[in-house]
Structure 1
């Protein structure tokens, strides 16, 4: 098949993806490309566990912190950004190494993505205002009139997806499923990538998650969230829901002690890690799953042994 085109490193949060990517980039002459939907936001370096400035200085890093927290960054936009990152890597003769925990990003790299046009800004504002005023059940009933298939698929309490589906059908006149039939092509041939899903022992992973949040607080996560909260952005924006952000905002508002907020954030992150395992097991079942300690040599071997 020839030399692989890229290395893809996925796994649950706190599994060591960024560290592995850094090691591989140094060994192979590579650039690390972000595949985590929260690490794109410039406002949130610490709380999203982005690579440090020192790590970013060791090898090129792309698609980290390049999006303002006020933006509703989409998978489609990430795919366009990833295309530009691949072009940059090719121009500089660097091995592209994608690392992150957002499964849909990896799936779109090798499978493509349905293209949904931008939603009218006035419609978005109206839908979000009515969601806040009346709750998701009312909008779910409205969605059932315009897009019955989407309404049947979604829980009446799923605020984010109800809002998204309603915005699309009201803005374009077509249900979301119609747009899913039109797609963007994949960027990489699945037969020409080296893939790995880091699968640490669950108990050890949960210990790492809990300990990492303490490190984040020591590194200034609370001040980072304080500055972000001061922007008073729409709470439905993706960046406003980054793990730890809602709980620390409630602490800053006097609703919770810092210990309570930290415990809630740790629990949310552990639950998210569990969902990541499940998603990859069902959606990308052919990915090799490895313990983090075995991943470096395994990936290097797979890279060098390709014909």
Structure 2
């Protein structure tokens, strides 16, 4: 079943200015902003995940930000179900759904669907995550190759989440993830007319922005935020505990390093993550409109012009 109603997808690496562009477009086109960042769903992580400010959230509707506690494991399946409801609610209210975030897997499932897969135990997933951390991505992928050669060939060694998932399914069910996909091919999760805008700033400019942003986070309360998270005594394997900056600042709070060292380590981890995002987005995501080498103000203007034309163009 097709649906000509529009959905804007706005993506890019962390620090690329997605939130500012999303806010500008949602303001111009009566939009509802729907989060597609796997860490911004956690209530305890406002500062370190650079969630929109309370003032920005008051300007236009924002959905799926801070909606679950850090003690839960948010998954792509849960996000997909929640995002589908929010998109429909926006349409019902006569608003443009603006889905924004840098979690590429979330965005791909929105447009391509999600194959129904067998459940695997949380304990097995935790054990495999620990194995990945001990051995590194290259060795872990070689282990996967004997169980699911297609997945091992397709996934980069840096894609920890999907490599662990593929290994967990293969070990837990005795059947490769690829085979499950063949049995249950993915179906489009949302019938809509998608417009995808991708922000790809120059790498060195992006890195400078991220370094400055980490310092700003510290000034805005990142340390107390991490301390409150630690006080919950959560399982270290939970996704929220792996948010950028948590491990680094936790080491300082425990007296294991200096604040300067923790800051430098947090900045380096963020740069590495942004590099992986850039690589993934360039090779895995298809965009209708790519904005490169633009200052934030210019990016907003170009994105607005594209969306105006997109909304005025009749659906094929």
Deviations 1:214-246 (A, max 9, x none): 111111111101111222323222211111111
| Structure 2 residue 271 is matched with structure 1 residue 264 | no
**What residue is the counterpart of 2:304 in the other structure?**
297
Report matched runs for 1:86-125 at 5 Å: 86-121=87-122
Counterpart-to-counterpart distance in 2, 1:106 and 1:129:
23
**What residue is the counterpart of 2:202 in the other structure?**
201
Is contact 2:114–2:189 with CA below 8 Å preserved after alignment?
A: no
**What residue is the counterpart of 1:147 in the other structure?**
147
**What residue is the counterpart of 2:36 in the other structure?**
35
Shift in CA distance, 108/159, structure 1 to aligned 2, threshold 3 Å: closer
Deviations 1:161-216 (A, max 9, x none): 665445434544433223333244223457x2222111223332222111111111
**What residue is the counterpart of 1:85 in the other structure?**
86
Structure 2 spans left out of the alignment, 5+ residues: none
What SS does structure 1 have at the residue aligned with 2:33?
strand
Counterpart-to-counterpart distance in 2, 1:158 and 1:282:
13
TM-score in terms of structure 1 length: 0.85
Counterpart-to-counterpart distance in 1, 2:159 and 2:278:
22
What SS does structure 2 have at the residue aligned with 1:194?
strand
Number of aligned positions between the proteins:
303
What SS does structure 2 have at the residue aligned with 1:195?
strand
Counterpart-to-counterpart distance in 2, 1:205 and 1:155:
22
Is contact 1:194–1:302 with CA below 8 Å preserved after alignment?
A: no
Is contact 1:46–1:224 with CA below 8 Å preserved after alignment?
A: yes
Is contact 2:144–2:167 with CA below 8 Å preserved after alignment?
A: no
Is contact 1:4–1:194 with CA below 8 Å preserved after alignment?
A: no
Shift in CA distance, 202/135, structure 1 to aligned 2, threshold 3 Å: closer
**What residue is the counterpart of 1:247 in the other structure?**
248
Shift in CA distance, 149/262, structure 1 to aligned 2, threshold 3 Å: same
Shift of the alpha carbon at 1:279? 1.1
TM-score in terms of structure 2 length: 0.82
Counterpart-to-counterpart distance in 1, 2:311 and 2:13:
26
Shift in CA distance, 274/220, structure 1 to aligned 2, threshold 3 Å: same
Is contact 1:250–1:261 with CA below 8 Å preserved after alignment?
A: yes
**What residue is the counterpart of 1:186 in the other structure?**
188
Quick check: 26-35 or 297-306, which moved more? 297-306
Is contact 2:3–2:191 with CA below 8 Å preserved after alignment?
A: no
Counterpart-to-counterpart distance in 2, 1:27 and 1:129:
43
Shift of the alpha carbon at 1:109? 1.5
Deviations 1:110-130 (A, max 9, x none): 1112222332356557x4698
What SS does structure 2 have at the residue aligned with 1:113?
coil
Is contact 1:7–1:96 with CA below 8 Å preserved after alignment?
A: yes
Is contact 2:12–2:199 with CA below 8 Å preserved after alignment?
A: yes
Shift of the alpha carbon at 1:275? 1.8
What SS does structure 1 have at the residue aligned with 2:72?
coil
**What residue is the counterpart of 1:48 in the other structure?**
49
**What residue is the counterpart of 1:284 in the other structure?**
285
Quick check: 68-77 or 180-189, which moved more? 180-189
What SS does structure 2 have at the residue aligned with 1:254?
coil
Shift in CA distance, 261/185, structure 1 to aligned 2, threshold 3 Å: same
